[in-house]
Structure 1
């Protein structure tokens, strides 16, 4: 992912990405320095984006059944 995508200005504000919040153990709630314990999807006027708090999406799973021949570079008839 390019750095520009992480630092874009039109990021949807969420307490999960805010530099004022700290995630709690349950993974959904945030301990905010300004508003106390809030849901991770909330936001306020003091939102300050921190790109290091962003969790990248999981990579797509490979689908299909592959054999060793699918990954070989040589002729499949040679041994």
Structure 2
């Protein structure tokens, strides 16, 4: 969930951190940090959270008659 109460406190979700590459962030408070780093100045930004993709539906169990009128 995007807006749950207990969230992972990673710099990748922080307001003060900007992404440089996949593993490195530039924090306004701490400088260069790892993506999994966290500190006391953490402030959650829900727009930086990327939700997991859903699995595509499996239509192989249906045949042509199931989709006809």
**TM-score grouping bracket, smaller chain normalisation:** 0.7 to 0.9
Larger radius of gyration: 1
> How far is 1:41 from its partner?
0.6
Deviation >4 Å, runs of 4+: none
> 1:16 maps to what in 2?
12
> How far is 1:8 from its partner?
2.1
> 2:50 maps to what in 1?
55
Is the Cα–Cα contact under 8 Å of residues 27 and 33 in structure 2 kept in the other structure? yes
> How far is 1:62 from its partner?
4.0
CA distance 1:70–1:52, change in 2 (3 Å)? farther
The number of aligned residues is 69
Alignment partner of 2:41 out of 41, 46, 50: 46
Cα distance in 2 for partners of 1:45, 1:21 equals 13
Cα distance in 2 for partners of 1:52, 1:17 equals 8
Give the TM-score taking structure 2 as reference length: 0.80
Give the TM-score taking structure 1 as reference length: 0.71
